[in-house]
Amino acid sequence: MCNCHKVHHFRHLKEGCPGFRMEKFVQPCILLLLYERPAHGYELMERLQRCGFSGNVDPGVVYRNLRKMEEEGWVKSEWESSESGPARRRYIITPEGEDAIHGFAVHVRYQMERLKGFLDKYEKIFGNGEGNSN
């Protein structure tokens, strides 16, 4: 059982093991997915879900971040009239977006170090989850 449900003091954010937000982390993920292959927003939502974004991926977050990244010049989009279903916006990554991925990767690595620093200290004090069983 997820430990966080023992701690019922989290009020805001009803779901998804709160306390930490999805945050700006969608952007590097989307960029990496687009680097793998171009896609439209709806497809990205599905792929994000399989990509560690637990539960529901909010459409608003995805589309707004795509827009923002297009403003940044990290992605480009063009309307694609599909033969089945409504028209959709096909996004591709730009060279600048590729640069951004590398920049993000550095930060992600840095963030991981911080989290690791916390967990190391935590496990040093409380042990490796033994005192944690339910």
Partner DNA sequence: TCCTCTATATGTTGTATGCATATAGCTGTT
Partner DNA sequence: AACAGCTATATGCATACAACATATAGAGGA
Number of residues that bind DNA (CB under 7 A): 36
Query: Residue 111 binds what, of DNA, a copy of itself, none (CB under 5 to 8 Å, by partner type)?
Result: a copy of itself
Contact positions vs a copy of itself (CB under 8 A): 2-4, 6-7, 9-10, 17-21, 23-25, 27-29, 32, 35-36, 51-53, 72-74, 96, 99-119, 121-122, 125-126, 132
Which CB sits closer to a copy of itself, 56 or 82? 56
Query: Residue 14 binds what, of DNA, a copy of itself, none (CB under 5 to 8 Å, by partner type)?
Result: DNA
User: Letter for the amino acid at 25?
Assistant: F
Task: Report the 3 state secondary structure along the chain.
Answer: CCHHHCCCCCCCCCCCCCCCCCHHHHHHHHHHHHHHCCEEHHHHHHHHHCCCCCCCCCHHHHHHHHHHHHHHCCEEEEEECCCCCCCEEEEEECHHHHHHHHHHHHHHHHHHHHHHHHHHHHHHHHCCCHHHCC
Which CB sits closer to a copy of itself, 13 or 87? 13
Per the CB < 8 A criterion, the answer to whether 10 and 49 are in contact is no
Query: Residue 15 binds what, of DNA, a copy of itself, none (CB under 5 to 8 Å, by partner type)?
Result: DNA
Residues that bind DNA (CB under 7 A): 11-16, 21-26, 40-43, 56, 58-61, 63-68, 82-90
